Amino acid sequence: MVLSANDIHCSYGSSDASIKVLKGASISIKTGEVVAVMGPSGSGKSTLLHALGLLERPCKGKVLICGEDGWGLSSRRRAELRNRKIGFVFQFHHLLEEFTLKENVMMPCLIAGETSEEATQKAESLLERVGIIHRSSHFPSTVSGGERQRAAIARAIIMKPEIVLADEPTGNLDSKTSLEVEKLIMELAEEGNRSFLLATHSHDLAGAVHRKVFLNSGIIKKS
Ligand SMILES: Nc1ncnc2c1ncn2[C@@H]1O[C@H](COP(=O)(O)OP(=O)(O)O)[C@@H](O)[C@H]1O
Ligand SMILES: [Mg+2]
């Protein structure tokens, strides 16, 4: 399994006034598998992705990334694991506004200590692949929502992660653009034999995926 999470509990707030969002969610994802986690707004999809992506520590539960216990590692080792194995497409604040699309896509490579030549070369080839090479030197605020999302996806896969966690990747797009981005995600999964976990409340996006699961009352139900 690329990702395997067991009995994840997450709550917000202090102990006397806490809301339990996840109450024992479990999920496993195989290499190359594209899975949609569905659920209405507020059901905890973003919370789940942040726990699985080693961004926010759950109150309880294990997350294995390629067999490694992500939350059991030191924060430095966890950051390395995240950088090498996990790509993330965020629900909000997709890109850094003060950087061009190319610079945004290069960022994970630079953080990992690659030279700017290497990073540039990889970013350009990915921008080409996702169809926005002509927008490389534009800033996020000056391109369309679909183009921003393509850049966010390119940034998420530039380190060749084993799994990409994408939080409502088509949430703010019109239906035609959503379909195009969805098609791109399915192609990138196949080309790289890479797993994706997509959070979505849209049945349309979930149409093409290999498997759907539902987040309901804090736990995951299979379709
Ligand atoms: N940082 C936070 N502090 C307090 N409550 C939060 C926070 N983030 C999310 N929540 C609450 O947790 C629940 C699940 O949120 P979220 O994971 O964002 O759901 P979804 O992504 O499915 O819309 C919601 O009730 C939301 O209001
Ligand atoms: Mg959300």
Encode pLDDT of 55-75 as tens digits: 999 999 999 999 999 999 999
Q: How many CB atoms lie within 10 A of CB 203?
A: 10
pLDDT 10s digits, 92-117: 767 999 999 999 999 999 999 999 99
Look at residue 15 and tell me whether its pLDDT is greater than 90.
Answer: no
Ligand 1: which residue has its CA nearest to atom 5?
Answer: 12
Percent of the chain exceeding pLDDT 90 equals 84
Tell which wins on pLDDT, 176 or 164: 164
Q: Phi/psi of residue 174, each to 5°?
A: -70, 170
Specify the pTM. Answer: 0.95
| Pocket lining: 200 vs ligand 1, CB cutoff 6 Å | no
Residue 204: the pLDDT is 66
Is the per-residue pLDDT at 41 higher than 70? Answer: yes
Asked if the 3-96+147-222 domain carries CATH number 3.90.79.10, the reply is no
In our burial notation (b when 16+ CB lie closer than 10 A, e otherwise), range 156-193 reads bbbbebbbbbbbbbbbebeeebbbbbbebbeebbeeee
Ion ligand 2: residue ranges with CB closer than 5 A: 45-46, 91
**Atom 17 in ligand 1: residue holding the nearest Cα:** 44
Nearest-CA neighbor of 166 among 219, 204, 205, 119? 205
Atom of ligand 1 nearest to the CA of 167: 21
